[in-house]
Amino acid sequence: MTSMPATPLDGLLDGGVVDLPDQQLIEAMGAARAIASRAQAIELAAVAELARRRRAEDDMPAVEAISPGDYLREEVAQALTLTAASADELVRFATDLVERLPGTFSALAAGDIDYLKARTLWHCTGQVSDENATEIETRVLPRASWQTTGEIRAKVRRLVKRLDPEGLRQRREAAERRREVALIETDDGTAQLIGADLPADAASAAYGRVCAIAAGLRHDGDDRSIGQVRADVFLALLRGTSTLTEPPAGTTVPFAAERVGRRDDVDWSDVDDAAADVVAAAVRSEFAALSSDVPDRHRRLGLLIAQAGPRVTEALAALRVHWCLPDHEDSRPAGSECAGRGYRVPAAMRRLIECRDRRCCFPGCRRPVRQCDIDHSIPFHRGGRTCPCNLTLLCRRHHRLKQTKGWRVEHLWPGVILWIGPTGHWRVTAPADRE
């Protein structure tokens, strides 16, 4: 077996990380991930090149009963100790990435995205035309480096719906024809009862009914967890043993969709999204430059970024969007004014925040509107205003995290949030990141 060349991180193996301060541990994680991405790109390039050569050999006259290409997966399986099925999928992944999604391959090779993000893009674009795949890749990659696989998958699904609605309809109908229910035994001795490829609307309605009945039982004093109650209600309804067939009066059926769409009565538009994106991109660029210029960055970077945040906020104050006006302005749109407001968020302003933020504003969190609180970025009792420039959606966990020692949050622009962790590492999120 050939030995691997040395890397800058080799000195950290065999317990070397135990002596690193927290800041360097975070940086070691990122550096290792980038090196792994580049190494995986080399593997994929080698697999794709071998596949190209075997295809070329298939085109040449030969007397063999079986062509070289037919044995490609066996070659790859033997070299990498894979099953035949895994080797076959790896060949398809490598070939598509190199030939069909070159931008994604380049991002992987540069360490800008990791293997899982590359596979997510590949899986989600597998059934669209090459032209649409290129368009999707072009739109997704610019922000993919700081998005999770869940965010990337959601973005690709929306683009597929927009770019190829007819193809998506045909694929959905074909999938629905394959619908079935499966019973799978687990290693723990339990079972999973799964309905696969169900019509989305009907499945959402069924799930909503189960959730509503479970919520009603919990409200009546049931001490099981909400997950346990939902599971038991699900089984009881299917077995016909439940006497409670409808949600109790007054119980709200949960909204199954993950996203709040654009609404005619909400004063937030794609133009506002674009403006927030420009602000977020400029801030990321400035903070990245600041990060590279700090000589003793491990002690000072977090402090400098935290100090720069309020300065950026102040510099942008005069450019606030039209529905977020200064206190002295009297002609404000109903429900969007900053002045004269108490702690309670008006209904119109709440709709605007929900439409703008879509979900929890912590980087990578996918908690939807219905699972989030509206939070004052600067606490109300410390002078924070009840205004879209100071309100964000946060799930309960990240609402608590924001108040935890070591974490700092700065609301730079309506919906553009700067998060600084205990080690000084930072992330900036914008509304379009949370689509």
CATH number, position 151? 1.10.10
Q: What is the pLDDT of residue 255?
A: 46
pLDDT score recorded for residue 279? 84
Do 139 and 274 fall within a single domain?
Answer: no
Query: Is the Cα torsion angle 111, 117, 123, 127 positive or negative in sign?
Result: negative
Q: Are residues 55 and 94 in the same domain?
A: yes
Low-confidence ranges of the chain (pLDDT < 50): 1-4, 255-260, 327-340
Quote the pLDDT of residue 257: 42
Q: What is the DSSP string of 77-106?
A: HHHHT--HHHHHHHHHHHHHHHHT-HHHHH
Q: Look at the alpha carbons of 102, 103, 107, 108 in this order and tell me if their dihedral is positive or negative.
A: negative
What is this structure's pTM?
Answer: 0.74
Per-residue pLDDT, 250: 57
Beta bridge pairs of residue 196: 180
| Residues 309 and 363 reside in one and the same domain | yes
Q: Do 334 and 386 share a domain, yes or no? A: yes
Indicate the residue type of 426. Answer: W
Question: What counts of helices (H) and strands (E) characterise the chain?
Answer: 14, 7
Same domain, 282 and 430: yes
Radius of gyration of the chain (CA): 26
Q: Which of 324, 316, 318 is nearest to 278 (CA)?
A: 316
Residue 330: the pLDDT is 37
Residue at 356 is within a domain? yes
Do 355 and 408 sit in the same domain of this protein?
Answer: yes
Residue 321's pLDDT is: 67
Q: CA-CA distance, 365 to 99, in Å (whole number)?
A: 33
pLDDT of residue 15: 64
Final residue of a structural domain among 164, 195, 218: 164
The answer to whether residue 329 is domain-embedded is yes
91: how many CB neighbours lie within 10 A of its CB? Answer: 22
Domain check: are 154 and 187 in the same one?
Answer: no
Asked if 209 and 353 sit in the same domain, the reply is: no
Residues 6+ apart with CB under 8 A from 249: none
Q: Which residues contact 343 (CB under 8 A, 6 or more apart)?
A: 376, 380, 386
Domain count, the chain: 3
In a domain, 304, yes or no: yes
- Give, in degrees to the nearest 5, the angle at Cα 39 between 37 and 41: 70
Domain final position from 136, 164, 192: 164
210 belongs to a structural domain: yes
Are the C-beta atoms of 23 and 426 separated by less than 8 Å? Answer: no
Among 164, 189, 215, the domain boundary falls at 164
The answer as to whether 254 is a domain residue is no
- Domain of residue 58, residue span: 34-164
Please, which contacts does 372-378 make with residues 24 or more away whose CB atoms are closer than 8 Å? 373/399, 374/345, 374/350, 375/399, 375/402, 376/343, 377/409, 377/410, 377/411, 377/417, 378/411
Q: Is residue 189 part of a domain?
A: yes
DSSP 56: H
Q: DSSP readout, 93-142?
A: HHHHHHHT-HHHHHHHHTTSS-HHHHHHHHHHTTTS-HHHHHHHHHHHHH
- Asked if the structure places residue 226 within a domain, the reply is yes
Does one domain contain both 149 and 195?
no
Asked whether the beta carbons of 174 and 191 are under 8 A apart, the reply is no
376 and 284 within one domain: yes
Q: Are residues 184 and 151 in the same domain?
A: no
Please report whether residue 247 resides in a domain.
no
Say whether both 215 and 296 belong to one domain: no
Q: How high is the pLDDT of residue 124? A: 93
